[in-house]
A and B are shown apart, each in its own frame.
Chain A
Amino acid sequence: MQRTEKVLQLRGQQGRSVRVVREHYVRPDVPCRSALCRAACPRDGKLLSDDVTHYVVPDWKVVQDYLEILEFPELKGIIFMQTACQAVQHQKGRRQYNKLRNLVKDARHDCIVFANEFHQHSYLPREKGESMEKWQTRSIYNATVWYYNHCLGQMPVVMVTEDEDAIRQYGNETEGVFVISFKNYLDNFWPDLKAAHELFDSIIQARRERESESQENNGKEYPEHLPMEILEAGVKSGRYVQGILNVNKHRAQLEAFVRLQGVGSKETELQSDILIYGARARNRAIHGDVVAVELLPLHEWKGRTVALCENETEDKTPADTTGDPMPTGKVIGIIQKNWRDYVVTFPSKEESQSQGKNAQKILVTPWDYRIPKIRISTQQAESLQEYRVVVRIDSWESTSLYPNGHFVRVLGRIGDLEGEIAAILVENSISVAPFSEIQMSEMPVSSSKNPWKVNPEEEQKRVDLRDTHLIFSIDPKGCEDVDDALSIRTLPNGNLELGVHIADVTHFVAVNSYTDVEARARATTYYLADRRYDMLPSILSADICSLLSGVDRYAVSVMWELDKESYEILSVSYNKTIIRSAYKLVYEAAQGLLDGDTSAVGDILELKDLDERTRQKKLTELVWAISKLTDIARHVRAKRDSCGALELEGVEIRVQLDDKKNIHDLIPKQPLEVHKTVAECMILANHWVAKKISENFPHQALLRQHPPPRQEFFSELRECASAKGFSIDTRSNKALAESLDKADDPQDPIINKLLRSMATHAMSNALYFSTGSCPEGEFHHYGLALDKYTHFTSPIRRYADIVVHRLLMAATLKESKGDVKDNVFSNKDLEELCRHINNRNRAAQHAQKQSTELFQCMHFKDKTPETDERCIADGVIYSIRTNGVLVFVPRYGIKAAAYMKNKEGLVISCQRDSSCEWKPGSLHHFQNKITSTTTTGESVTLSLFDHITVKILVHTSRCHADTIKLEIIRNAPYQTLDTEVSQKNSNVAKSELVKEVSQSAEEAQRAQEKARVEVIEEEYQEYCQTKGASLYQLLEEIRDLALLDISADIRT
């Protein structure tokens, strides 16, 4: 045995090049493993057969690239040189190398490995300055020659190489050793082996593509981003498109869409979103980033996937279920990164072990499906396994498949309510620290002993309405932040005076005070399913600013003089006032008074202690006021309807909790007419305030717009409606409203609801904006059919309203005193603020939706679906996909997917009694129905708006939020009392229907509420949660609409 040394230049830990000396032992006794061998080589193990025409030695490059061809059993007598094997191991990685090893081990394959580098005579040291590739080829050739000589020239040896120089240099050097190219070899020796030739061509093809790609990116995982200047110029010139990246939640690995943004979209003919298909095309952009996109040529466009899918199972064959091709592009640069804190979960023990050696580097799974896995280096991985954790992304290099991040803090245990709520808050970037001392010190003092009093100086400045007007508020039960009150009276000239009085929050919250800054940051009060986070300290929201009955309060009042007959608005005034609300009514009581239901009177606290005569008198006054208001509201509504106001529908549920915060039940809500009355008054006030401020501040007023939806989003709605024989006209809001009214199946009121909610989904969100940043034509509010609209009526829980209040005050001052510049944001600042508020509102909506889903899941989680009656419900199919249907469950307000083909590929089939089970078969998808046919020939067809019975299951997931899954158990409606009630009701007139259903629901609710009075009391103390049907719960009714206007206004 001889000892030699190899000197290598390696990369050290810090990236410096390090000189390493390694020993290398060569020996004379390396077995050649050929059956032809005449020397004394040991002959154990696999031998190369001697009945072939030649031996073939593939060069390292050939082994690397064409191993698949060498795997053909027809190819015999292959000698893999050790040099080639090592090249594969180092450059192609473990998988390819294992393939090679298995090939060599396989006894059926006539191939061996010859350890040429350890043989004294076939080893060649690498020369100075010689490239690795050249040396490898030289070694292999040398070993080939040795091998030929070792077998005493009994067998010709062919060396196949891709190296042209080698062919030229060695081709004729030794007799009996041929050096040719691989293509040549295949052509000459295996002309009949078709499959090998085809494979060869396809490998060449694939490699060429890869090479052309890697020319751009030098073998990196992702192409580099272009520099900012090029992006900006490209976007301006229209070469690239700028937009916000939206990752498809259900196919986060593959699909993302870029929604066009800004001016770029006008010039291009593109109307729809741009599909970004695959992680490479997405090029390290994360959901929410503003990216620049280059469109791909037309023939590379792909369609979006229409099949239902679960995120966990990676679908390998998406091609068969895609829709029509749509514009497809690739991300070439990120204009603005939108990274935030992410909630993640560490892999469980089993998973982390499989992640291998780099124990400190761990891939964690974000809670949000749309965020890619993040690589974290931490030592605490094991102890954090059971927790939800916040991480931040640091960087994402083009050489790395995943972004790098670091661990920030722990939120709570997985599955724990507090932890999950905290996760929801972090995911929506909501921070809700308690109010600081410095903020609280700004607050006026008010306690039960020393209640807050009206300042005499202020009294002089304000209009006193305390004695002249009958003012009352209508709110949900237990509401404590009353920010609006109403009044109506007959003026001496016979006309009516309608008043809307809004709490004067701005009086207490000075511009740029600590409280103001905090409120601006929060922008809105956050309502979650079981709690809320106030925008203003509770001393303001629940006491001093709250328009409670029997106490003096500052207000901002909008008052209209109406014609006594036609209710035409004759004049309007905006004043700072002092009011004293006479009644604090709840919706149910007000509705009772309106209906002449005397039992409701008992609920009105303010009337309790009076004697019978004054009570009657006051009651008559109040009833007159409410009915007059309702009358006016109907009138205003009708006028708005004639302009095309939409009535949109969304079914909402409320969560009932018991004392241990377990979920009692989920109850869908029903609206009353009084809701509409109050909402209409608020819309009127908002509308008039919007008019006023935009007149006075044409360039810096905060308004709210609702852009008209894009027509193509309505296509689904139109198709669905046509399935039931309705035609929906979506050309204008008026046409839409009318056709939605017509599309009502008397047998099934749910259909109309579903159509309305579909219409809502097709629309874009209403947004705040500054009048200076938008042409006047775009001020329009589509949903409410108003030319100008803003938010004015809820300053306690929305910051936008506070801004509007200040604007209104400035506007009135301006008229009296001339120019006022104070307290008014400039257009640019206001634009910035609007963006912030819109963002926060969206976050609030998401947080609320997610918390409701959390509670839905928790509700069904502890129930065993097999036995529990409550897990079985009636569902309506509202959308058909290729492998299942989307089902709406009216009882719980749940929308979820139900599969018709399960993971084993079995499809659903129905028995005689219409119960369902899984059987092998196939699915056929049509426009409005889906048919599953079993192999035995039975078939089931489900079409749009069919009623089916579903079982509600919770799909638990470690890293993400739990989701609700539905399973079809019978393809017939679920027969319960509920459906009977609704069927009976469907024959009754519409308004009566509302009343009746609400009353029956009410009764059920009241019964439950009585039983839980103590419970609520407790919660109330704990969270200051408004009692019973809170503001928030009402909001839920319209939550899904995503139109905050309507929802917010009904609540006001």
Chain B
Amino acid sequence: MAALELLSDEGYRADGRRAAELRKVRARMGVFAQADGSAYIEQGNTKALAVVYGPHEMRGSRSKALHDRALVNCQYSMATFSTSERKRRPHGDRKSSEMTLHLKQTFEAAILTQLYPRSQIDIYVQILQADGGNYCACVNAATLAVIDAGIPMRDYVCASSAGFVEDTPLADLSYIEEASGGPQVALALLPTSEQIALLEMNSRLHEDHLEEVIEAASKACKAVHAVLDQVVRDHVQEVTALLGD
């Protein structure tokens, strides 16, 4: 059996999207009453749940407290049932600690931490179903959760991935596209200022193509931003409608 064709001659990807099209994004905020902020996002079949606690005072060792800003504490995990083959995923394995670190970097860049010195903000993200672009889904979910918690941010942080197949940049990679082993860029963007919060790349890509791929990724981020913004507005409207009566 021949290998799967990622981009057909007619310009369709394996799942029927065109090169620049995103998967369908659906999101909800405030899914958890107990937490300060929470959000659920679906990007295609990738489903992520984010929960935010804080800002609150330091838990555990106080020595970690930063005197001029808040500490962002992130935790990333994948549910055992998130992939097609059930697998125990212990905390702190290499992949998830890397992801944790990336999330932390991303949100330290976005949250106005200097407003809350000596305090701590916890962001917990869990992947419920993995189908490519886990990091992106996590960032997008966490952004919504942070907004839900009412923590001030510079801007939304929107993330999207992009790949490069047969001289064409592909936006928002799905699992089969990721698994093919081609180059892959994950980009977290502050859309209005176009500032990059995080950029990560796997596998090899010729320098000449890098710009195109980042361009595709940032376009996708902006598209995500539009969706998230709509979700936030709808949510706020809903909440105010509840308050307003």
A: which residues have CB within 8 A of B?
A: 1, 3, 5, 10, 12-13, 16, 18-27, 82, 89-91, 93-94, 97, 101, 104-105, 113, 115, 117-118
Contact = CB atoms under 8 A, between A and B. Distances in A.
A90 B84 contact: no
Contacts of A26: 16
Given A19-B84, A104-B9, A91 B1 contact: yes
Contact of A89 (B5, B21, B44): B5
Contact of A18 (B3, B8, B44, B85): B85
Contact of A23 (B1, B3, B5, B15): B15
B119 to A, nearest CB: 41
B30 to A, nearest CB: 24
Interface string B25-53: 00000000000000000001100000000
> Of residues B2, B23, B84, B131, which shows the largest number of chain A Cβ atoms within 10 Å of its Cβ?
B2
Contacts of B143: none
Nearest to A1: B21
A171 B96 CA distance: 57
B176 interface: yes
Contacts, number: 64
B17 interface: yes
Contacts of B24: 1, 3, 23, 25
Contacts of A118: 12, 16
Contacts of A97: 2
A115 B12 contact: yes
B10 A115 contact: yes
Nearest to B5: A89
Nearest to A12: B85
B75 interface: no
Nearest to B15: A23
B160 interface: no
Contact of A93 (B2, B10, B23): B2
The 6 closest A-B pairs by CB, nearest first: A25-B16, A94-B2, A118-B16, A3-B24, A23-B15, A18-B84
B7 to A, nearest CB: 12
B2 A23 contact: no
A25 B45 CA distance: 12
A27 B24 CA distance: 13
A21 B1 contact: no
Given A90-B2, A94-B2, A25 B17 contact: yes
B3 to A, nearest CB: 8
A82 B23 CA distance: 21
Given A23-B23, A89-B5, A97-B2, A117 B84 contact: no
Quick one: which of B12, B14, B21 has the most chain A CB within 10 A?
B12
Interface in B157-189: 174, 176
A117 B5 CA distance: 15
A485 to B, nearest CB: 74
A107 to B, nearest CB: 13
A101 B8 CA distance: 10
Nearest to B1: A90
Nearest to A91: B1
Given A10-B84, A24-B15, 19 more contacts: A3-B24, A12-B84, A13-B85, A16-B85, A21-B45, A21-B84, A22-B176, A26-B16, A27-B16, A82-B8, A89-B5, A90-B1, A91-B1, A101-B9, A105-B9, A113-B9, A115-B8, A115-B12, A118-B12
B45 A23 contact: yes
A926 to B, nearest CB: 51
Contacts of B2: 89-90, 93-94, 97
A12 B87 CA distance: 13
A874 B14 CA distance: 69
Contacts of B9: 101, 104-105, 113
Interface string B100-127: 0000000000000000000000000000
Nearest to B26: A3
Contacts of B10: 82, 113, 115
A90 B12 CA distance: 17
Q: Tell me if B's interface is mostly helix, strand, loop or mixed.
A: loop
A25 B15 contact: yes
Q: How large is the interface on B (under 10, 10 to 19, 20 to 34, 35 or more residues)?
A: 20 to 34
A63 to B, nearest CB: 14
A513 to B, nearest CB: 60
Contacts of B85: 12-13, 16, 18
9 contacts: A1-B21, A3-B44, A10-B84, A12-B85, A19-B84, A21-B45, A22-B14, A25-B17, A118-B12
Contacts of A25: 15-17, 21, 24
A94 B44 CA distance: 29
A115 to B, nearest CB: 5
A20 B84 contact: yes
Contacts of B1: 89-91, 93
A913 B24 CA distance: 85
A5 B23 CA distance: 12
A632 to B, nearest CB: 79
Nearest to A123: B16
Nearest to A98: B2
A698 B236 CA distance: 110
A5 B42 CA distance: 14
Contacts of A19: 84
Contacts of B3: 94
B37 to A, nearest CB: 28
Nearest to A33: B10
A756 B8 CA distance: 69
Contacts of A89: 1-2, 5
Given A18-B84, A22-B176, A25-B16, A5 B5 contact: no
Contacts of B84: 10, 12, 18-21
B16 A24 contact: yes
A250 B88 CA distance: 56
A90 to B, nearest CB: 5
A5 B16 contact: no
A105 B10 CA distance: 10
A93 B23 CA distance: 29
Interface-centre pick from B16, B17, B45 (highest chain A CB count, 10 A): B16
Contacts of B131: 21, 23
A26 B17 CA distance: 8
Nearest to B24: A3
Contacts of B12: 115, 118
A10 B5 CA distance: 17
Contacts of A12: 84-85
Contacts of B8: 82, 115
B106 to A, nearest CB: 26
A22 B16 contact: no
A23 B21 contact: no
A629 B10 CA distance: 95
B224 to A, nearest CB: 16
B44 to A, nearest CB: 5
A24 B13 CA distance: 10
A117 B23 CA distance: 17
Contacts of B5: 89
A633 B15 CA distance: 92
B102 to A, nearest CB: 25
Nearest to A13: B85
Contacts of B174: 23
Contacts of B23: 3, 23
Contacts of A101: 9
Contacts of A115: 8, 10, 12
A64 to B, nearest CB: 13
A90 B1 CA distance: 5
A10 B174 CA distance: 17
A865 B17 CA distance: 65
A21 B12 CA distance: 19
A104 B5 CA distance: 16
Contacts of B14: 22
A964 B23 CA distance: 65
A20 B23 CA distance: 17
A117 B14 CA distance: 11
A25 to B, nearest CB: 4
